[in-house]
Amino acid sequence: MSEVKVAILGASGYTGAELVRMLASHPRFRMAALTADRKAGQEMASVFPQFAALDLPKLVSIDQVDFAGIDAVFCALPHGTTQDVIAALPGHVKIVDLSADFRLYDLDAYDTWYGHPHKAPDLQKQAVYGLTELKRDAIAKARLVANPGCYPTSVQLPLVPLLKAGLIEADDIIIDSKSGTSGAGRAAKEGILYCEVTEGMHAYGIASHRHSPEIEQELGGAVGKPVSVSFTPHLIPMSRGMLSTINVRLAQGAKAADLRDCWAKTYAGEAFVKVLPAGVAPQTRHVRGANFCFMNAFDDRLAGRAIICSVIDNLVKGASGQAIQNMNLLFDLPETMGIDQQPLFP
């Protein structure tokens, strides 16, 4: 079997490090280039000492990479910085972009939510949204995959099948999501210093978080009409993990058991999406370090309503693990290749 030569752009961030960790055991993908402009010239092990045992390329700037010899690119750069970079890549290179730069189909919406016009509108038309379990066929045919955000992944996996089946009402969805601090990235920021986040939690991006239009875009696509949701993210004092608690109004006569049955049919045979037994609440600690989404549904004490809980590791299924899952599809490889690690517990 021939190897696939891979470049990771932005390897010095948390999602870049997760890509390195998981690709180190991938039997077909070989890391041929790692970039980190501000840390160019350094060894990866000096930036992330946990990789001391790996033989990895030295970190370089993007302009030092010879992309003629690269087959695939994972772009783990900050939002707003990837469009020019990806537009300049040779046509033979397959790309999974972990930023938000190609997730929104509507360029006006991108301008509104990200504060500047899209720099590669023609390329945006080619991008395929990469929620693997629900977009598999389109992803397999793509060159550029827009990897979903972490919050949208935790929300869409449970909600999209239910909306398509007509089991919940599209006009009454309330999403309360909580994320570990790694979701804010590795850059030094006062708001994520230890003393700022430990021993407490807080909401942020209230009524204005940039994942809202991504969530609404995909939920709207599931029902064929615009959908608006109430979405509030929270920062919790742990390194990684994400819990979304979603309050929904049920269709007439539906119960939580019907939601679980719908998921069981939708995700039958899926490696990474698991519906828990009735009454079992998903916990972030049970998916730590793995590419799983665990979910369950509960009847609310309020008649006609249900409470949905889903958990993912925000750095894995919410970012790097799903990115590798998508890249496997682009090269017609088994989706689980290199990312079938079991969760870390305790």
**Catalytic amino acids?**
150
Nearest CA-CA partner of 242 in 165, 171, 324, 311: 311
Q: How distant is the alpha carbon of residue 156 from its chain centre?
A: 11
HSE toward the beta carbon, residue 214, CA cutoff 13 A: 25
Distance CA 319, CA 21 (A): 13
- Give, rounded to a whole angstrom, the gap between the first and last alpha carbons of the chain: 37
